Amino acid sequence: MENRNSSKVGRYEKLEKIGEGTYGTVFRGRDRDGSEVALKRIKLDDDEEGVPSSALREICLLRELRHKNVVRLLDVLHTDKKLTLVFEYCSVDLKIWLKKYHTSRTLLSFLNQTTAGKLHAPEVSALFYQLLKGLSYCHAKSVLHRDLKPQNLLIHEGVLKLADFGLARAVGLPVRQYSNEVVTLWYRPPDVLLGARVYTFTVDSWSAGCIFAEIANSGTPLFPGQDIEDQLRIIFRLIGTPNDNEWPTMRRLPDYRPFPRFPAETNWSEQVPTLSETGIDLLKKMLMPNPHSRLTADQALMHQYFTMLNGNSRTLL
Protein backbone atom coordinates (compact mmCIF):
# COMPACT_ATOMS: atom_id res chain seq x y z
CA MET A 1 0.00 0.00 0.00
CA GLU A 2 1.24 3.49 -0.79
CA ASN A 3 2.99 5.18 2.11
CA ARG A 4 2.40 8.86 1.46
CA ASN A 5 0.69 9.50 4.76
CA SER A 6 3.20 12.02 6.09
CA SER A 7 1.98 14.50 3.49
CA LYS A 8 -1.66 13.70 4.27
CA VAL A 9 -1.56 14.19 8.04
CA GLY A 10 -4.01 16.92 8.98
CA ARG A 11 -5.64 17.02 5.57
CA TYR A 12 -8.93 15.59 6.84
CA GLU A 13 -10.73 17.00 9.87
CA LYS A 14 -12.88 14.52 11.79
CA LEU A 15 -16.32 15.82 12.71
CA GLU A 16 -19.20 13.84 14.25
CA LYS A 17 -19.68 10.07 14.17
CA ILE A 18 -22.36 8.99 11.68
CA GLY A 19 -22.17 5.21 11.85
CA GLU A 20 -20.53 2.15 13.35
CA GLY A 21 -20.22 -1.37 12.01
CA THR A 22 -18.36 -4.62 12.47
CA TYR A 23 -15.21 -3.42 10.74
CA GLY A 24 -14.98 0.24 11.65
CA THR A 25 -16.47 3.57 12.63
CA VAL A 26 -17.62 6.16 10.10
CA PHE A 27 -17.29 9.91 10.71
CA ARG A 28 -18.36 12.93 8.75
CA GLY A 29 -15.23 14.85 7.91
CA ARG A 30 -13.91 17.83 6.01
CA ASP A 31 -11.13 17.95 3.47
CA ARG A 32 -8.61 20.77 3.52
CA ASP A 33 -10.29 22.16 0.40
CA GLY A 34 -13.56 22.56 2.33
CA SER A 35 -15.47 19.64 0.81
CA GLU A 36 -17.26 17.12 3.01
CA VAL A 37 -16.01 13.53 3.15
CA ALA A 38 -16.81 10.32 5.02
CA LEU A 39 -13.98 8.81 7.06
CA LYS A 40 -14.18 5.07 7.71
CA ARG A 41 -11.66 4.31 10.46
CA ILE A 42 -10.58 0.74 11.09
CA LYS A 43 -8.52 -0.05 14.17
CA LEU A 44 -5.69 -2.49 13.59
CA ASP A 45 -5.39 -5.11 16.35
CA ASP A 46 -1.94 -5.85 17.69
CA ASP A 47 -2.69 -9.57 17.33
CA GLU A 48 -3.49 -9.28 13.62
CA GLU A 49 -0.86 -9.19 10.94
CA GLY A 50 -1.40 -6.29 8.60
CA VAL A 51 -4.66 -4.90 7.28
CA PRO A 52 -7.94 -6.90 7.59
CA SER A 53 -8.73 -8.82 4.40
CA SER A 54 -12.20 -7.23 4.15
CA ALA A 55 -10.64 -3.75 4.06
CA LEU A 56 -8.05 -4.80 1.48
CA ARG A 57 -10.79 -6.22 -0.76
CA GLU A 58 -12.84 -3.05 -0.44
CA ILE A 59 -9.84 -0.85 -1.30
CA CYS A 60 -8.76 -2.94 -4.28
CA LEU A 61 -12.24 -3.18 -5.76
CA LEU A 62 -13.32 0.42 -5.20
CA ARG A 63 -10.13 1.78 -6.77
CA GLU A 64 -11.32 0.17 -10.01
CA LEU A 65 -14.97 1.26 -9.80
CA ARG A 66 -15.97 4.69 -11.11
CA HIS A 67 -19.72 5.17 -11.51
CA LYS A 68 -22.20 7.76 -10.25
CA ASN A 69 -24.20 5.01 -8.50
CA VAL A 70 -21.20 3.52 -6.68
CA VAL A 71 -19.70 5.34 -3.71
CA ARG A 72 -16.27 6.73 -4.58
CA LEU A 73 -13.14 5.95 -2.60
CA LEU A 74 -11.09 9.15 -2.55
CA ASP A 75 -8.08 8.32 -0.41
CA VAL A 76 -6.48 5.75 1.92
CA LEU A 77 -4.49 6.61 5.07
CA HIS A 78 -2.50 3.86 6.78
CA THR A 79 -0.66 4.09 10.09
CA ASP A 80 0.53 1.48 12.59
CA LYS A 81 -2.64 1.75 14.65
CA LYS A 82 -5.42 2.45 12.16
CA LEU A 83 -6.53 2.46 8.57
CA THR A 84 -8.73 5.28 7.29
CA LEU A 85 -10.71 5.03 4.06
CA VAL A 86 -11.84 8.41 2.74
CA PHE A 87 -15.08 8.34 0.76
CA GLU A 88 -17.24 10.93 -0.91
CA TYR A 89 -19.76 12.14 1.63
CA CYS A 90 -23.35 10.87 1.45
CA SER A 91 -25.86 12.30 3.88
CA VAL A 92 -28.03 9.25 4.61
CA ASP A 93 -28.49 5.55 3.88
CA LEU A 94 -31.61 4.15 2.23
CA LYS A 95 -32.96 2.58 5.42
CA ILE A 96 -32.88 5.88 7.30
CA TRP A 97 -34.09 7.80 4.24
CA LEU A 98 -37.15 5.56 3.91
CA LYS A 99 -37.93 5.90 7.60
CA LYS A 100 -37.64 9.70 7.52
CA TYR A 101 -39.60 9.92 4.28
CA HIS A 102 -42.38 7.72 5.61
CA THR A 103 -42.55 9.67 8.88
CA SER A 104 -42.70 13.06 7.16
CA ARG A 105 -45.28 11.86 4.65
CA THR A 106 -47.42 10.32 7.40
CA LEU A 107 -47.30 13.58 9.38
CA LEU A 108 -48.23 15.52 6.23
CA SER A 109 -51.10 13.11 5.67
CA PHE A 110 -52.34 13.65 9.24
CA LEU A 111 -52.13 17.44 8.99
CA ASN A 112 -53.70 17.69 5.54
CA GLN A 113 -55.99 14.66 5.86
CA THR A 114 -54.59 13.24 2.64
CA THR A 115 -53.45 9.71 1.78
CA ALA A 116 -49.71 10.27 1.96
CA GLY A 117 -47.21 8.07 3.82
CA LYS A 118 -46.11 5.96 0.87
CA LEU A 119 -43.63 6.69 -1.91
CA HIS A 120 -45.10 7.65 -5.26
CA ALA A 121 -44.47 5.36 -8.23
CA PRO A 122 -41.89 7.63 -9.95
CA GLU A 123 -39.86 7.83 -6.72
CA VAL A 124 -39.90 4.06 -6.28
CA SER A 125 -38.84 3.43 -9.87
CA ALA A 126 -36.14 6.13 -9.73
CA LEU A 127 -34.56 4.59 -6.63
CA PHE A 128 -34.66 1.08 -8.03
CA TYR A 129 -33.39 2.21 -11.42
CA GLN A 130 -30.30 3.76 -9.81
CA LEU A 131 -29.70 0.63 -7.73
CA LEU A 132 -29.81 -1.51 -10.88
CA LYS A 133 -27.54 0.88 -12.81
CA GLY A 134 -24.87 0.68 -10.11
CA LEU A 135 -25.28 -3.08 -9.90
CA SER A 136 -25.10 -3.51 -13.67
CA TYR A 137 -21.84 -1.53 -13.73
CA CYS A 138 -20.32 -3.65 -10.94
CA HIS A 139 -21.31 -6.87 -12.69
CA ALA A 140 -19.87 -5.60 -15.97
CA LYS A 141 -16.62 -5.13 -14.04
CA SER A 142 -16.98 -8.73 -12.74
CA VAL A 143 -17.65 -7.61 -9.17
CA LEU A 144 -20.18 -9.42 -6.96
CA HIS A 145 -21.38 -7.21 -4.10
CA ARG A 146 -22.82 -10.00 -1.90
CA ASP A 147 -24.20 -7.73 0.81
CA LEU A 148 -26.90 -5.55 -0.70
CA LYS A 149 -29.31 -4.15 1.88
CA PRO A 150 -30.81 -0.70 2.54
CA GLN A 151 -28.08 0.15 5.09
CA ASN A 152 -25.44 -0.36 2.37
CA LEU A 153 -27.12 1.97 -0.12
CA LEU A 154 -26.36 5.66 0.35
CA ILE A 155 -28.31 8.68 -0.89
CA HIS A 156 -26.95 12.16 -1.45
CA GLU A 157 -28.58 14.99 -3.38
CA GLY A 158 -31.04 12.62 -5.02
CA VAL A 159 -28.46 10.05 -6.13
CA LEU A 160 -28.37 6.49 -4.79
CA LYS A 161 -24.96 4.83 -4.46
CA LEU A 162 -23.87 1.26 -3.70
CA ALA A 163 -21.51 1.14 -0.71
CA ASP A 164 -19.77 -1.22 1.74
CA PHE A 165 -17.86 -3.64 -0.48
CA GLY A 166 -16.28 -5.57 2.39
CA LEU A 167 -17.91 -8.85 1.28
CA ALA A 168 -17.55 -8.18 -2.45
CA ARG A 169 -15.57 -10.49 -4.73
CA ALA A 170 -14.06 -10.23 -8.18
CA VAL A 171 -15.47 -13.03 -10.34
CA GLY A 172 -13.35 -14.78 -12.92
CA LEU A 173 -12.80 -18.02 -14.80
CA PRO A 174 -12.69 -20.80 -13.94
CA VAL A 175 -15.78 -20.53 -11.76
CA ARG A 176 -14.78 -21.00 -8.14
CA GLN A 177 -16.59 -21.84 -4.94
CA TYR A 178 -17.50 -19.02 -2.56
CA SER A 179 -18.66 -18.82 1.03
CA ASN A 180 -22.38 -19.26 1.61
CA GLU A 181 -22.14 -17.13 4.76
CA VAL A 182 -22.83 -13.95 2.82
CA VAL A 183 -25.69 -11.49 2.39
CA THR A 184 -27.72 -10.37 5.40
CA LEU A 185 -30.42 -12.97 6.12
CA TRP A 186 -33.45 -10.98 4.93
CA TYR A 187 -31.81 -10.40 1.52
CA ARG A 188 -30.21 -13.83 1.01
CA PRO A 189 -31.51 -15.95 -1.91
CA PRO A 190 -32.86 -19.51 -1.48
CA ASP A 191 -29.89 -21.13 -3.25
CA VAL A 192 -27.43 -19.60 -0.76
CA LEU A 193 -29.76 -20.35 2.15
CA LEU A 194 -29.64 -23.99 1.03
CA GLY A 195 -25.85 -24.03 1.05
CA ALA A 196 -24.88 -23.17 -2.54
CA ARG A 197 -21.19 -22.30 -2.81
CA VAL A 198 -21.15 -21.80 -6.58
CA TYR A 199 -23.22 -18.79 -7.58
CA THR A 200 -23.15 -15.82 -9.92
CA PHE A 201 -24.47 -12.29 -10.21
CA THR A 202 -28.09 -13.32 -9.63
CA VAL A 203 -27.22 -13.52 -5.91
CA ASP A 204 -27.23 -9.72 -6.04
CA SER A 205 -30.38 -9.75 -8.20
CA TRP A 206 -32.35 -11.48 -5.44
CA SER A 207 -31.16 -8.93 -2.86
CA ALA A 208 -32.09 -6.10 -5.22
CA GLY A 209 -35.58 -7.57 -5.66
CA CYS A 210 -36.06 -7.67 -1.88
CA ILE A 211 -34.97 -4.04 -1.66
CA PHE A 212 -37.33 -3.11 -4.53
CA ALA A 213 -40.28 -4.43 -2.51
CA GLU A 214 -39.00 -2.68 0.63
CA ILE A 215 -38.79 0.65 -1.19
CA ALA A 216 -42.31 0.19 -2.55
CA ASN A 217 -43.52 -0.59 0.99
CA SER A 218 -41.74 2.49 2.39
CA GLY A 219 -39.28 0.53 4.50
CA THR A 220 -41.20 -2.63 5.42
CA PRO A 221 -39.04 -5.69 4.58
CA LEU A 222 -40.56 -8.44 2.44
CA PHE A 223 -38.87 -11.47 4.07
CA PRO A 224 -38.06 -10.70 7.76
CA GLY A 225 -36.95 -14.18 8.88
CA GLN A 226 -35.58 -15.06 12.31
CA ASP A 227 -33.17 -17.76 11.14
CA ILE A 228 -32.40 -19.74 7.98
CA GLU A 229 -35.30 -22.17 8.43
CA ASP A 230 -37.77 -19.38 9.11
CA GLN A 231 -36.38 -17.35 6.22
CA LEU A 232 -36.97 -20.18 3.74
CA ARG A 233 -40.50 -20.74 5.02
CA ILE A 234 -41.38 -17.04 4.66
CA ILE A 235 -39.98 -16.99 1.12
CA PHE A 236 -41.74 -20.18 -0.01
CA ARG A 237 -45.04 -19.07 1.52
CA LEU A 238 -44.99 -16.07 -0.83
CA ILE A 239 -43.38 -17.34 -4.02
CA GLY A 240 -44.36 -21.01 -3.63
CA THR A 241 -42.21 -24.04 -2.86
CA PRO A 242 -40.29 -24.84 -6.08
CA ASN A 243 -40.89 -28.21 -7.70
CA ASP A 244 -38.38 -30.27 -9.69
CA ASN A 245 -39.49 -28.74 -12.99
CA GLU A 246 -39.03 -25.19 -11.75
CA TRP A 247 -35.68 -25.87 -10.09
CA PRO A 248 -34.22 -29.23 -11.17
CA THR A 249 -30.94 -28.86 -9.22
CA MET A 250 -32.46 -27.77 -5.92
CA ARG A 251 -32.22 -31.27 -4.40
CA ARG A 252 -28.46 -31.35 -5.03
CA LEU A 253 -27.72 -28.36 -2.82
CA PRO A 254 -25.67 -29.19 0.31
CA ASP A 255 -28.32 -28.12 2.84
CA TYR A 256 -31.41 -29.21 0.92
CA ARG A 257 -34.32 -30.63 2.91
CA PRO A 258 -37.98 -31.10 1.92
CA PHE A 259 -40.31 -28.21 2.64
CA PRO A 260 -44.11 -28.10 2.84
CA ARG A 261 -45.73 -27.56 -0.55
CA PHE A 262 -46.75 -23.93 -0.36
CA PRO A 263 -48.66 -22.65 -3.42
CA ALA A 264 -47.42 -19.45 -5.04
CA GLU A 265 -49.03 -16.27 -3.74
CA THR A 266 -51.70 -15.22 -6.22
CA ASN A 267 -52.41 -11.79 -4.77
CA TRP A 268 -49.07 -9.98 -4.89
CA SER A 269 -50.91 -6.67 -4.82
CA GLU A 270 -51.55 -7.27 -1.12
CA GLN A 271 -47.83 -7.71 -0.46
CA VAL A 272 -46.76 -4.64 -2.46
CA PRO A 273 -49.95 -2.59 -2.88
CA THR A 274 -48.24 0.47 -4.39
CA LEU A 275 -46.65 -1.42 -7.29
CA SER A 276 -48.28 -1.49 -10.71
CA GLU A 277 -48.85 -4.73 -12.62
CA THR A 278 -45.60 -4.22 -14.52
CA GLY A 279 -43.79 -3.50 -11.25
CA ILE A 280 -45.10 -6.73 -9.72
CA ASP A 281 -44.07 -8.62 -12.86
CA LEU A 282 -40.52 -7.27 -12.54
CA LEU A 283 -40.41 -8.10 -8.83
CA LYS A 284 -41.55 -11.68 -9.39
CA LYS A 285 -38.90 -12.20 -12.07
CA MET A 286 -36.17 -10.92 -9.73
CA LEU A 287 -37.38 -13.25 -6.97
CA MET A 288 -37.31 -16.50 -8.92
CA PRO A 289 -36.04 -19.25 -6.58
CA ASN A 290 -34.03 -20.93 -9.34
CA PRO A 291 -31.01 -18.62 -9.81
CA HIS A 292 -30.83 -19.52 -13.53
CA SER A 293 -34.36 -18.15 -14.03
CA ARG A 294 -33.74 -14.91 -12.11
CA LEU A 295 -33.30 -11.67 -14.04
CA THR A 296 -29.86 -10.10 -14.14
CA ALA A 297 -29.49 -6.37 -13.46
CA ASP A 298 -29.09 -5.71 -17.20
CA GLN A 299 -32.26 -7.65 -18.01
CA ALA A 300 -34.18 -5.87 -15.25
CA LEU A 301 -33.18 -2.47 -16.64
CA MET A 302 -34.77 -3.46 -19.96
CA HIS A 303 -38.11 -4.33 -18.31
CA GLN A 304 -41.14 -2.32 -19.40
CA TYR A 305 -41.60 -1.11 -15.82
CA PHE A 306 -38.92 1.51 -16.51
CA THR A 307 -40.47 2.85 -19.71
CA MET A 308 -42.26 5.45 -17.57
CA LEU A 309 -38.92 6.97 -16.57
CA ASN A 310 -37.41 9.93 -18.35
CA GLY A 311 -34.04 11.55 -17.88
CA ASN A 312 -35.27 13.96 -15.23
CA SER A 313 -36.88 11.34 -12.99
CA ARG A 314 -33.90 9.04 -12.65
CA THR A 315 -32.77 10.90 -9.56
CA LEU A 316 -34.89 11.99 -6.62
CA LEU A 317 -35.79 15.63 -7.03
Per-residue pLDDT reduced to its tens digit, 60-71: 999 999 999 999
Residue 21 has pLDDT above 90, yes or no: no
CA distances to 56, 92, 166, 183, 229 from 43, in Å: 14, 24, 15, 24, 35
Closest to 215 in 3D by CA, of 157, 282, 264: 282
CATH superfamily of 13-88: Phosphorylase Kinase; domain 1 (3.30.200.20)
Kindly report, residue by residue over 169-206, the tens digit of the pLDDT: 888 644 455 555 657 899 999 999 999 988 889 999 99
Whether pTM exceeds 0.75: yes
Q: List residues forming the annotated binding site for ATP.
A: 40
Radius of gyration of the chain (CA): 21
Lowest mean pLDDT among 84-88, 103-107, 148-152, 269-273: 103-107
Sequence-distant (6+) residues with CB within 8 A of 44 are 50, 51, 52, 80, 81, 82, 83
Confidence band of 18 (pLDDT split at 50, 70, 90): confident
Q: 147 catalytic, yes or no?
A: yes
Residue 289 has pLDDT above 70, yes or no: yes
Which of the following is catalytic: 33, 80, 147, 281? 147
- Round to whole Å and give the CA distance between 226 and 221: 13
Contact by Cβ (8 Å): 257, 228: no
pLDDT for 56: 85
Return residue ranges of the chain for CATH 3.30.200.20. 13-88
Residue 104 has pLDDT above 80, yes or no: no
Contact by Cβ (8 Å): 42, 26: no
Kindly report, residue by residue over 202-221, the tens digit of the pLDDT: 999 999 999 999 999 989 99
Report which residue type is found at 258.
P
**Taking residues 115-141, what's their average pLDDT?**
87
Closest to 88 in 3D by CA, of 13, 154, 169: 154
CA dihedral angle for residue 163, residue 166, residue 168, residue 169, rounded to 10 degrees: 150
Residue 122 has pLDDT above 50, yes or no: yes
pLDDT for 36: 95
Return residue ranges of the chain for CATH 1.10.510.10. 92-311
CATH architecture of the domain covering 92-311: Orthogonal Bundle (1.10)
Contact by Cβ (8 Å): 206, 244: no
Q: Is beta strand 25-30 parallel, antiparallel or unpaired with respect to 36-43?
A: antiparallel
Mean pLDDT of the chain: 85
Closest to 211 in 3D by CA, of 128, 91, 99: 128
Confidence band of 52 (pLDDT split at 50, 70, 90): confident
Report which residue type is found at 259.
F
DSSP one-letter code for 219 = T
pLDDT for 81: 76
Cis peptide before 174 (omega within 30 of 0): yes
Positive/negative CA dihedral, 228, 256, 199, 126: negative
Closest to 69 in 3D by CA, of 124, 16, 138, 6: 138
